[in-house]
Amino acid sequence: MKARDTDFPISDADRSTSDMAWRSVSYLTAGILFYGGIGWLLGQYFGHKSAFIAAGVIIGIVLALYLTYARVSFMERDTTTSDLRKPPQ
Protein backbone atom coordinates (compact mmCIF):
# COMPACT_ATOMS: atom_id res chain seq x y z
CA MET A 1 0.00 0.00 0.00
CA LYS A 2 1.32 3.44 -0.90
CA ALA A 3 1.95 5.82 1.98
CA ARG A 4 0.42 9.26 1.82
CA ASP A 5 2.44 12.03 0.24
CA THR A 6 4.91 9.55 -1.22
CA ASP A 7 5.84 10.12 -4.84
CA PHE A 8 7.70 7.51 -6.77
CA PRO A 9 10.00 8.84 -9.48
CA ILE A 10 9.07 7.81 -13.00
CA SER A 11 11.84 7.96 -15.54
CA ASP A 12 11.36 8.76 -19.21
CA ALA A 13 12.47 5.24 -20.12
CA ASP A 14 9.71 3.73 -17.96
CA ARG A 15 7.17 6.08 -19.48
CA SER A 16 8.16 5.30 -23.08
CA THR A 17 8.03 1.56 -22.36
CA SER A 18 4.57 1.94 -20.87
CA ASP A 19 3.45 4.07 -23.81
CA MET A 20 4.75 1.49 -26.26
CA ALA A 21 2.92 -1.30 -24.47
CA TRP A 22 -0.39 0.55 -24.62
CA ARG A 23 0.27 1.50 -28.25
CA SER A 24 0.81 -2.18 -29.11
CA VAL A 25 -2.47 -3.16 -27.46
CA SER A 26 -4.22 -0.33 -29.31
CA TYR A 27 -2.78 -1.42 -32.66
CA LEU A 28 -3.93 -5.00 -32.10
CA THR A 29 -7.42 -3.95 -31.04
CA ALA A 30 -7.81 -1.49 -33.91
CA GLY A 31 -6.47 -3.99 -36.45
CA ILE A 32 -8.84 -6.72 -35.33
CA LEU A 33 -11.86 -4.42 -35.29
CA PHE A 34 -11.08 -2.55 -38.52
CA TYR A 35 -10.11 -5.48 -40.73
CA GLY A 36 -12.66 -7.77 -39.08
CA GLY A 37 -15.27 -5.12 -39.92
CA ILE A 38 -14.10 -5.00 -43.52
CA GLY A 39 -14.31 -8.80 -43.60
CA TRP A 40 -17.83 -8.61 -42.21
CA LEU A 41 -18.84 -6.11 -44.92
CA LEU A 42 -17.32 -8.26 -47.64
CA GLY A 43 -19.06 -11.30 -46.16
CA GLN A 44 -22.39 -9.48 -46.30
CA TYR A 45 -21.80 -8.62 -49.94
CA PHE A 46 -20.33 -11.91 -51.22
CA GLY A 47 -21.74 -14.40 -48.72
CA HIS A 48 -19.54 -16.71 -46.63
CA LYS A 49 -19.55 -14.21 -43.77
CA SER A 50 -17.52 -16.30 -41.32
CA ALA A 51 -14.69 -16.91 -43.81
CA PHE A 52 -14.31 -13.21 -44.60
CA ILE A 53 -14.47 -12.22 -40.94
CA ALA A 54 -11.78 -14.77 -40.06
CA ALA A 55 -9.57 -13.60 -42.91
CA GLY A 56 -10.06 -9.96 -41.91
CA VAL A 57 -9.18 -10.64 -38.28
CA ILE A 58 -6.06 -12.60 -39.25
CA ILE A 59 -4.95 -9.85 -41.65
CA GLY A 60 -5.60 -7.25 -38.94
CA ILE A 61 -3.48 -9.13 -36.42
CA VAL A 62 -0.63 -9.63 -38.88
CA LEU A 63 -0.59 -5.96 -39.91
CA ALA A 64 -0.81 -4.77 -36.30
CA LEU A 65 2.09 -7.01 -35.26
CA TYR A 66 4.14 -5.78 -38.21
CA LEU A 67 3.43 -2.15 -37.32
CA THR A 68 4.40 -2.79 -33.70
CA TYR A 69 7.60 -4.56 -34.78
CA ALA A 70 8.50 -1.72 -37.14
CA ARG A 71 8.00 0.91 -34.44
CA VAL A 72 9.96 -1.00 -31.80
CA SER A 73 12.85 -1.74 -34.15
CA PHE A 74 12.91 1.94 -35.18
CA MET A 75 13.06 2.98 -31.52
CA GLU A 76 15.89 0.55 -30.80
CA ARG A 77 17.79 1.55 -33.93
CA ASP A 78 17.37 5.23 -33.13
CA THR A 79 18.72 4.91 -29.60
CA THR A 80 21.54 2.41 -30.16
CA THR A 81 23.05 3.51 -33.45
CA SER A 82 22.76 7.23 -32.87
CA ASP A 83 25.38 6.90 -30.14
CA LEU A 84 27.68 5.00 -32.48
CA ARG A 85 27.44 7.63 -35.24
CA LYS A 86 28.70 10.43 -33.05
CA PRO A 87 32.36 11.18 -33.73
CA PRO A 88 34.69 10.71 -30.78
CA GLN A 89 35.71 13.89 -29.01
> Is 49 part of any domain?
yes
Q: Identify the pLDDT of residue 5.
A: 61
Query: What is the tens place of the pLDDT at every residue in 58-78?
Result: 999 999 999 988 888 877 665
Residue 65 lies in a domain: yes
Number of domains in the chain: 1
Contacts 24+ apart (CB under 8 A), 40-45: none
**Does residue 35 belong to any structural domain of this protein?**
yes
Residue 67 lies in a domain: yes
Residue of 42, 28, 33, 32 lying closest to 71 (CA atoms): 28
Q: In the predicted model, what is the mean pLDDT of the chain? A: 79
**Tens-digit pLDDT profile for residues 23-36:** 889 999 999 999 99
Specify if 5 maps to a domain: no
Q: Domain limits at 50?
A: 24-76
1 pLDDT tier (thresholds 50, 70, 90): low
Q: Is residue 15 part of a domain?
A: no
Of the pLDDT bands very low, low, confident and very high (cuts 50, 70, 90), residue 43 is: very high
